[in-house]
Amino acid sequence: MDKHITDVAFDMHEDSIAAWLLPSATTPEVWGIPHEPKTFHRLARQLLTHGQARACYEAGPCGYAPQSHLVSSGLPCEVTAG
């Protein structure tokens, strides 16, 4: 049996974060949260409660700090070039 992995893409803004979750081969779920470290950590932990997940986001003004937050929460994250 294949293990399912939820793919997550983040769109980072100064005051908000949008997360697109693709838990299966269907339409993605879109979540919006404030751009606050506590909220970001909570979202990463929540994603992992449903099984394996991996994330990505485009490096921009936020730099690599979001990747550090996600990885420290246990969620693997790749940073892509814009």
- Check pLDDT > 80 for residue 63: no
What does the alpha-carbon distance between residue 17 and residue 25 come to, in Å, rounded to a whole number? 23
- Check pLDDT > 80 for residue 53: yes
Residue matched to tokens 């929460």: 73
What pLDDT is attached to residue 3? 66
pTM passes above 0.75: yes
Mean pLDDT calculated for residue range 1-27: 81
Q: What angle do CA 77, 53, 67 make, to 5 degrees?
A: 20
What pLDDT is attached to residue 1? 43
